Amino acid sequence: AQKVTQAQTEISVVEKEDVTLDCVYETRDTTYYLFWYKQPPSGELVFLIRRNSFDEQNEISGRYSWNFQKSTSSFNFTITASQVVDSAVYFCALNLNRDDKIIFGKGTRLHILP
């Protein structure tokens, strides 16, 4: 069965601190895609990154970085020098190449305190 686990339900950090959101996934498929989405209070899911199962390169985009490790089935997300605008719920998600649906984790609510 496919599953995405975000063990951290809620995290609070002070502005400018670094924070890492953990994501562990389960699948026996060899071809799959991993995503991170941000959900601000307005409700829409904002796409942050997509990574396919054959690309284990870490990625950095501004203050955001992602660490994909197939050996531990993890796809962690780090925000460097956090800002209040980063406050949101963050979802890690899995999509199998043979399927259309996205399997979401339960999300991590991130509070950045001024």
Structural contact between residues 93 and 5, judged by C-beta atoms closer than 8 angstroms:
no
Residue 28, classed as helix, strand or coil, is: coil
Binds other proteins (CB under 8 A): choice among 1, 9, 30, 42: 42
**Amino acid letter, residue 55:** D
Give whichever of 34 and 112 is closer to other proteins, judged by the CB atom: 34
Give the shortest CB-19-to-other proteins separation in angstroms.
21
Could you tell me how many helices (H) and strands (E) the chain has, helices first?
0, 12
Binds other proteins (CB under 8 A): choice among 3, 47, 56, 58: 47
Under the binding rule (CB under 8 A), the answer on residue 104 touching other proteins is: yes
In this structure, the number of other CB atoms found within 10 A of the CB of residue 51 comes to: 18
Give the shortest CB-104-to-other proteins separation in angstroms.
4
Interatomic CA distance for residues 28 and 76, integer angstroms: 19
Between residue 8 and residue 37, which ones bind other proteins under the rule CB under 8 A?
33, 35, 37
Residues in contact with other proteins by the rule CB under 8 A = 33, 35, 37, 42-47, 50, 52, 91, 95, 97, 99-107
